[in-house]
Every structure is written in structure tokens, then in C-alpha cells.
Amino acid sequence: MIGITLTADQIRNAPAEVRRWIEQEVIASLRLAPSGLAPKTGSSGTGRPSGPAACNENEIAAIFAQLRGMPAALNVLFEFRQPGIAFGDPPLKSFRLMDIMHNGKLQNIEQVMVGLNAINTALSDLRGALDVRFCEFDNEGHCFLAPETQTSIAKLWHHVVVSQQPTAVARHEPMPHPN
């Protein structure tokens, strides 16, 4: 076994993939569960669901349509297309709010929270339920999503990106020669 010591600055300045890997290794080695989340079995007694909602592709498409005029909210939504770190039983996908801010090209964490609130409102309106939550949070700056929701967002992202690309025929046709 080899041990490596890293300073906080080295970790902070590491690429996002390295920070995620370090975080995943620490969580796995300590078997940490997200603190501050409601238990995943049954209701909390307040009428609130016990975890983040599992959104299907149609729901994510409807949320996308409702958020079209809100670039920050769309940036936040599409950051969840990334795989995230899966853990727990039932499993959740974990995302760092700071990574969402950085990768989504947002200026501050408040923009992330405004985006998340807009997504939550859109989902609540769509389902007609005030207690439904798109995601949950812990006290350490993590956001947790149902794996089905992450998969649906990834599929929508793929559909949106592919629909914006030229067709295969158009990309491979030779340019007309000027006469």
C-alpha cells in the first residue's frame, strides 16, 4: 500500500475529475452517508416524500420546456447529465454544488440555488404537488438526485445535442464546386 499526502490547495486546484475521484474514495473508505437527508424508507411524518423524485424522460422534457428562457436554470439542469457518484440504498447520485457552479459557468452558488429552485418549481407545477423535490441536499454542499432522473436528463441532453448537429449525409457530402 502507498500513501499520498495532498494539501487542501492541491486538492482544490486539481481537475474536477480528480476531486470527484478523491471524494468518492474518501466516502467509500469511510462509508459515509449523506448527512442531513431524510431517511430513504417511508415518509418523514411531515407528508414530505422521503427522497428526491424519480423523473422520467417526459417529465424532464416538460421541465426543460418550462425553463427555456432561464439560461442559469438550464445550465444547472444539464450539469446533472454527468454520471455523479452513486451510493446508498436505494442509490442516489451525488453532485457537488461547487462543481455544478464551475462546470455550468455560473458566477456564484446563488445562481445554482436559483436554478435548482426553478427546477423544483417546474417539477412541482408539473406534478401538481408542492411536496415533490427534484433533489435533496446535505450540509457539506452536495446535491442528491434519483438515478432515474440523472438518466432522463442525460437522454434529453443527447437528444438536444444530436438534434442540433447536421445530418450525417450533410456532413459527408462534398462541397459544390463553384463554376
More confident residue, 11 or 158: 158
Q: Give residue 25's pLDDT.
A: 65
Q: Which residue has the cell 434529453?
A: 156
Q: Dihedral of CA 124/128/130/136: which sign?
A: negative
Most confident of 42-51, 82-91, 124-133, 162-171: 124-133
Q: Return the amino acid letter for 15.
A: P
Radius of gyration of the chain (CA): 19
d(CA 165, CA 85): 30
The values of phi and psi at residue 69, to 5°, are -90, 10
Closest CA to 84 of 143, 126, 137, 43: 143
More confident residue, 15 or 59: 59
Residue 84 has pLDDT above 60, yes or no: yes
On average, the pLDDT of the chain sits at 80
CB atoms closer than 10 angstroms to residue 89: 8
Q: Give residue 76's pLDDT.
A: 96
